[in-house]
Each structure stands twice: as structure tokens, then as C-alpha cells.
Amino acid sequence: MPELANRLKTVKVSASAAMTDKARELRDAGVKIVGLSSGEPDFPTPPHAIEAAHRAALAGDTKYPAQPGTVALRTAVQRKFKRENNLDYALDEILIANGGKQIIFNALFATCNPGDEVVIPAPGWITYADIVLLAEATPVAVPCPENNQFKLRPTDLDAAITPRTKWLILNFPNNPTGAACTRDEMCAIADVMLKYPDVWILTDDIYEHLTYDGFEFCTIAEVEPRLKNRVVTVNGASKAYAMTGWRVGYCGGPKDLIAAMNNVHGQATGGICTLSQAAAVAVLDGPQEFLKERADIYRDRRDLVVKLLNQIPGITCHKPEGAFYVFPNIAGCIGKTTKGGRRLDTDADFISALLEEQHVAAVPGGAYGMSPYFRISYATDTESLKEGCRRIANFCESLR
């Protein structure tokens, strides 16, 4: 059999996707799984988005779309950036793609060469490092420890940047920790980046609308306008609007870079589904009040899960400011043996045994670059969260 490309040798299947698939297989086999691994909202897509897509289909809007996105959607994104982030982008500084992931892919493939480095705060979303590797660059992880609320310390960022650094990737509120940066904390990161004019910055703001307890979201190009000409501000419809399957991501950035990203985009896929774009226009320009209502529900779920996890022996759980994840510390469980006789040497062992013995699906922290932790998504119903935490408690209480 002919060989596969070398670039795939260092890229792993996403741990969260793998765990979600495993949970689905077990569920299909009749096992009662509590799935806490998927970062997917359990809310329905807003009705006005579905109606807009339906109208577009009936009107015949089913042909090849403009590659960078329809004028209608880029204009809606333009309004969104101005309204919510105080950022002004021309239409040729905006790109629409098949989810935020493809925006990131386009940006890195348009800019990275072998030997380049991309600085990524850790723990961080699994896919960042894998896209960097596919682009033949080198991911450089910068630890964001729990004793700093999983946030990026400016001194650590400064130390990580070298003459080979091409990008800094930011994601606050963060996957997997839920950590978010205050304006002062973002200003401190911006002050570091002002020292390095040859480094691009990509900020993944997909959890922008999921912050709690009065926390105010900010994004780096807004906080420090002098950086705007080398920042790509990424967002999408998936998390806030519960539109994961519609595959709509968008960004604003410098005109020449957006043109290069659009070139990559055209070779990879081309313009995205016209009906999805019509739906995205509807949610970006439509009523926004329900976002706060849903965020309040997520907040209550967060509070419940943090409370229940902190009652379990061997687990401590930091309360995050945003997103819909918690990242519990399981140092107190490592080195012990499960009721089924399995020794837990790593967080991966913990998660594997938890699925096998208690049928709870979560994701090991090592997949995100920090151990011994694991990630729970609370983007699911309250009863499932209660049952999942009950099973985790049973699992931990039986460790010897």
C-alpha cells in the first residue's frame, strides 16, 4: 500500500472527538452513557435562523456563493464587530469560512513556513497545535497554571517569543478551562506584543457571549488598536447561537492577509453553504436578548458542577469565568487503583476507567497540554450533569 504523507505522523485524532465517538458507540450498543465530552450547546438553533435558511432555499439561493462570503453576511459581520467590539473592518477585511476551525487553518497555511513557531497558551484547544503541525510549523506551549487561574502570564509570553515566532494564538474565554482575561490582563498581553512587530496574533473569540457574574469580555484589537493591523479576530455562530452543524465561522483582519487566507480557502473548499450564510445573517442582525438568558442557564450549571465536583475526594475544581467547561484537578486520584483493578497513572487512565466502569465520557487534560486534569462540558441538561457527577463521585470514592 502506498504511504501516507509524513505531515500526518505528528497529528492525532482529536481526543474530545474520539471520546464523543466512543460514547456514541456505547450508547448505540445500549449502554447508558452520560456524555460530558462534547463542546456542543444543547439548546436549539434560534427559529429565526431556520426560517431565514428556509426562505433562502425557496427563493433559489442555492447556487455557488461568493468565495469570501456573501455581501449580506460580511456586512452583518461588519455590523457585529462595530456594535459589540468597537472594531471597524472593511468588507475586504472580512472572511467567511466553514466554521472557526477553517479560519484558523486558512490563516496558518497562508503564513507559516517550516521552522516557524506558533505560541499557544496551555491548556488550549487540541486543534490549534495540530493545524500548526499540518502547516509544517512548530507549536510552542506556554503553561497557564491553575495558581494563575489558568491565565497567560505576560512574563511567560515574553520568554516564549523568539526570532522564529510567527503567531500568537489567544483563546479567552478558554477551551478547556473557561478562563477569561480582564481588560487589564489583556492590556498586559498587548504590551508584550507591541514589542514584537513581526508576530501575527490570532484571537479565537468563539466563547465571547459566554461569560458570567458580570465579567466583561474584551478582545485584543479593541484593547490595543496599535495591534489591529496584525490581528485576526475570529468568531462564529456555533457556540453562542447553538449552530454547530451550520458551519459558519468568520473573521476580521488586515486586507492583504485576508486575501491570502481567501486564496487558501478557495483551494480547500470554496464558499460556504448559502443557506447557512442566510441563517447567520438572521442571528447576527436579529434579537440578542436570548444570549444572556442562555448564559444565565450555563452559569447555573457551572455553579452546580463546581459545587458537586469539589465535594468529591481527590478532586478540586476551579470556578471559571466563561465558556461551558470546567477543568478539575485530579492529582488526588493519581496513583490509586479503581474498583475494577485498574491503576491510574495518568489522567488518560482516569478517563478511560471512568468510561469503562461508570459510563461517563469526559476528556483527559493531557490532550490539552496540562495534567493531571480532565475536561467536563456542562453544555448539557442539569439532570445529566447531576448523574454524571454522582457517577464520578462513586468512581473516586471506590479508589484505593
The three grid cell numbers given for residue 247, joined into one nine-digit string: 458551519
Structural domains of the chain ordered from first start: 6-44+290-397 (3.90.1150.10), 47-285 (3.40.640.10)
Model pTM? 0.95
CA-CA distance, 167 to 138, in Å (whole number)? 10
Quick: pLDDT tens for 1-43: 888 888 888 887 777 777 778 878 888 888 899 999 989 999 9
Strands 325-326 and 374-377: antiparallel
CA-CA distance, 251 to 233, in Å (whole number)? 5
Residue 35: alpha-carbon gap to chain centroid: 18
- Burial per residue of 189-226, b for 16 or more beta-carbon CB atoms within 10 angstroms, e otherwise: bbebbeebeebbbbbbbbbbbbbbeeeebbbbbbbbee
CA-CA distance, 360 to 342, in Å (whole number)? 16
Quick: pLDDT tens for 306-328: 999 999 999 999 999 999 999 99
Over residues 250-257, the mean pLDDT reads: 98
pLDDT recorded at residue 102: 97
What's the Cα-to-Cα distance from 258 to each of 97, 105, 144, 232, 307, rounded to whole Å?
12, 12, 30, 9, 44
Quick: pLDDT tens for 65-76: 999 999 999 999
Contact 137, 164 (CB under 8 A): no
pLDDT recorded at residue 376: 97
Strand 231-236's sheet: what is its strand order?
A: 94-97, 249-252, 231-236, 200-204, 165-170, 117-122, 138-143
Dihedral, CA atoms, 45, 322, 99, 184, nearest 10 degrees?
Answer: 140
**Who wins on pLDDT, 21 or 332?**
332
Helix 71-85, helix 274-285: angle, nearest 10: 30
Quick: pLDDT tens for 41-67: 999 999 999 999 999 999 999 999 999
CA-CA distance, 155 to 153, in Å (whole number)? 6
> Where does the pLDDT of residue 179 fall: very low under 50, low under 70, confident under 90, or very high at 90 and above?
very high
> Where does the pLDDT of residue 253 fall: very low under 50, low under 70, confident under 90, or very high at 90 and above?
very high
Quick: pLDDT tens for 84-138: 999 999 999 999 999 999 999 999 999 999 999 999 999 999 999 999 999 999 9
